[in-house]
Copies of this chain bind each other. A is one copy, B any other.
C-alpha cells in the first residue's frame, strides 16, 4: 500500500498503470460500508485506489465541515487491511488552489431531497468527483447506496458528460440492529443510538406494505411516520417517495421507487433509503 499526498504525484503514478483501476472516493472516517466498496473494487479491477478527502465545497456554511470526524491513522490501517493499492490523500489547497472556479452542475435531480435541504451540496460533490475521476482515470468507481441521491447525481453526470468509466452502486452496509453505517453515527448519544434503527424498521415496514400491494404514497408515509414517532428523540425532516431515476415525488407508486428519508437526532441528520421494484 502506498500513500500519495499530491495531485502531481498521483498523476505520475497513474501514467505508469496500464490495467483497470477501481476507484473508491471517500471523506475518510471509514467504516465497514467503505471497506465493502474497496473489496468490490479489488475483486473486479487490477489496481484499487481509494481517496480520502473531506471536500469543503459540499458543506454549507453552517454545516459540519470543521468538525467532520477525521482519523487518518485508523483509515490507513483499515484500507491496508483490505489490500488497497494506493491511498490518495490530497491537501485542500491542492484540489482547490487559489483562483479555482470551475464547477460541475447536475440540474434537475439535485432540486429535490438533499439537494433542496443543502443548497450547493451536489455542486460540490459533482465537481470534486469529476476532478478526482480526471486525476485517477478509473475504469470503475464505487459508491454506496446509502447516499441514494448522490448515486443518482453521479450516474447522471457520468452519462450526460460521457465520462469514460462505469459507476458501481454497492448495497448499504448495516449494523446488526439495522442502522445504516455512516461516519456521522459517531455524533449520536447512547440514547439516540438506541433509537436510530427506527429508520431501517420504517423502511422494512414500507417494503412490507408495498409487497402486500399498497400503492398509495400517503398511506405508506403515514405508517412510517407513526412508527418513527414512537422514538421520542427522532425528528423527521423528510420522507420522500419518488421515482428512482428522476426523484420526482409520486402520489401513486409505480416501479422503480426510491423511498428516502432524513431523520434528525439532535443536530445529526441520519439518511437511509430503500428501492422498491
Contact between chains at A103 and B105 (CB < 8 Å): yes
The chain B residue sitting closest to A14, CB to CB, is B164
Rounded to whole Å, the gap between the CB of A258 and the closest CB of chain B is: 17
Q: Does A226 contact B (CB under 8 A)?
A: no
Contact between chains at B101 and A160 (CB < 8 Å): yes
Contact between chains at A162 and B131 (CB < 8 Å): yes
* Given known A101-B156, A156-B101, contact A135–B106 (CB-CB < 8 A): no
When the two chains form the complex, which single residue of B102, B103, B137, B161 contacts A164, counting CB atoms closer than 8 Å?
B137
> How many subunits of this chain does the assembly comprise?
2
Quick one: which of A130-178 are within 8 Å of B by CB?
130-131, 134-135, 137, 156-157, 160-164
* Given known A131-B162, A164-B134, contact A104–B102 (CB-CB < 8 A): yes
A137 vs B165: C-alpha distance in the bound complex, in angstroms? 12
Rounded to whole Å, the gap between the CB of A248 and the closest CB of chain B is: 12
Hey, which chain B residues are within 8 Å of A137, CB to CB? 164
Q: Does A61 contact B (CB under 8 A)?
A: no
Contact between chains at A107 and B99 (CB < 8 Å): no
- How many residues of A are counted as interface, with CB atoms below 8 angstroms from the partner's CB atoms? 27
Rounded to whole Å, the gap between the CB of A59 and the closest CB of chain B is: 19
The chain B residue sitting closest to A245, CB to CB, is B99
Hey, which chain B residues are within 8 Å of A160, CB to CB? 100-102, 131
Contact between chains at B162 and A134 (CB < 8 Å): yes
Hey, which chain B residues are within 8 Å of A126, CB to CB? 102
Q: Does A7 contact B (CB under 8 A)?
A: yes
A93 vs B79: C-alpha distance in the bound complex, in angstroms? 43
Contact between chains at B101 and A7 (CB < 8 Å): no
A169 vs B6: C-alpha distance in the bound complex, in angstroms? 28
Q: Does A266 contact B (CB under 8 A)?
A: no
Hey, which chain B residues are within 8 Å of A107, CB to CB? 101-103
Rounded to whole Å, the gap between the CB of A158 and the closest CB of chain B is: 9
* Given known A130-B161, A135-B162, A161-B131, contact A99–B105 (CB-CB < 8 A): no
Q: Does A119 contact B (CB under 8 A)?
A: no
Rounded to whole Å, the gap between the CB of A41 and the closest CB of chain B is: 21
A135 vs B131: C-alpha distance in the bound complex, in angstroms? 16
A149 vs B232: C-alpha distance in the bound complex, in angstroms? 58
The chain B residue sitting closest to A95, CB to CB, is B162
Interface string of A39-62 (1 = CB under 8 A from B): 000000000000000000000000
Q: Which 6 pairs of residues, A with B, have the shortest CB-CB distance?
A: A102-B160, A101-B108, A134-B162, A101-B107, A103-B105, A102-B106
5 A-B pairs with CB atoms under 8 Å apart are A99-B108, A101-B106, A101-B108, A103-B105, A131-B160
